[in-house]
Amino acid sequence: MFTRLTIMGSLSLYFISTKLKLYSTCILPIFFYQSECWAISKVYACWIDALDQWCLRTLLGIKWYQFVRSDELRTITKQPNLTVTASFFVWTYCTYG
């Protein structure tokens, strides 16, 4: 999966919007599989957000030496942090009523 993600990020013929749609439909469901059962600690939240940042930077072709801040990346992609979205899934599916 990550090899294909790297190849797709290196191809410049895809628009950013197309890459983000593929990210939302192909990558995010893998992240959120069984997410309603997660107990996310602070350490795991940092790991999840770091992996999410890496995926977005790879898709956009941003290299490590370009020094793009995480909040700038979120502004460009208009994607929320993955832990925020995962906590939404946990609270949505674990409420009783």
DSSP assigned state of 86: H
Which region, left, alpha or beta, applies to residue 34 given φ > 0 means left and ψ of -120 to 50 means alpha?
left
User: What is the model's pTM?
Assistant: 0.66
Provide the mean pLDDT of the chain: 75
| Residues 48-71 pLDDT 10s | 888 888 988 888 888 888 888 888
